[in-house]
Amino acid sequence: MEERRTNRMMKIGIGNDHAAVDMKNEVVEFLKEKGYEVVNFGTDKKESSNYPEYGRKVAEAVAAGEVDLGILICGTGVGISLAANKVKGIRAVVCSEPYSAKLSRQHNNTNVLAFGARVIGIELAKMIIEEWLNAEFMGGRHQDRIDMITEIENENE
Ligand code: RB5
């Protein structure tokens, strides 16, 4: 009950390019079934599009607090996560397996998850998402390390 209430309050921004329209739609359904609110910043068309546009939109929404977390999907998850990571305050991780997804939350407090529609299937994507969303940041020495990342970000504005 408690988990469901928390899930209902959480808003997730999703972004994708043309390579990931079908997977995006399945992920949106999955998240809604789990009780998350989803905001779609991605394209719904399969004509060639530019992943930086969607990575940026989701990242800026996360950074501004318009959504709590972001999920990005392109062909590999690489380009769209690179774009997201250029937005101040964003820690985006590309994951093709659940272990790194979970640890990226616990240790690195990632606020954006990315993966590739041409790399993994929908069932693995769901497992990755679940591990990522259910993990909690552990703080302590991990916060110190994130502060060091933020320092690099601040010094390179
Ligand atoms: C598009 O063809 C492809 O380059 C894009 O989806 C992504 O994989 C980039 O990293």
What is the residue extent of each domain of the chain? 11-155
Q: Which residues pair with 11 in a beta bridge?
A: 37
Condensed to tens digits (0 to 9), the pLDDT of residues 13-66 reads 999 999 999 999 999 999 999 999 999 999 999 999 999 999 999 999 999 999
Summarize the confidence of residues 1-19 as an average pLDDT.
75
Q: Which atom of ligand 1 is nearest to the CA of 17?
A: 6
Is 142 an active-site residue? no
Question: Which of these is catalytic: 11, 49, 85, 107?
Answer: 107
- Bridge-based pairing of strands 69-74 and 11-16 is parallel
Q: Which atom of ligand 1 is nearest to the CA of 76?
A: 8
Condensed to tens digits (0 to 9), the pLDDT of residues 90-102 reads 999 999 999 999 9
* 53: nearest Cα among 41, 68, 62, 35: 41
Tell me which CATH homologous superfamily contains domain 11-155.
Sugar-phosphate isomerase, RpiB/LacA/LacB (3.40.1400.10)
Tell me the helices (H) and strands (E) count for the chain, helix number first. 7, 5
Q: Is 17 in the pocket of ligand 1 (CB under 6 A)?
A: yes
Residue 9 confidence class, pLDDT cut points 50, 70, 90:
confident
**8's tokens:** 């209902």
Contact 67, 11 (CB under 8 A): yes
d(C-alpha 60, C-alpha 85), whole Å:
10
* 110: nearest Cα among 136, 128, 86: 136
Summarize the confidence of residues 109-114 as an average pLDDT.
98
3-state class (DSSP) for residue 114: strand
3-state class (DSSP) for residue 146: helix
pTM: 0.95
**80's tokens:** 């769209």
Looking at every residue in the chain, the average pLDDT score rounds to 95
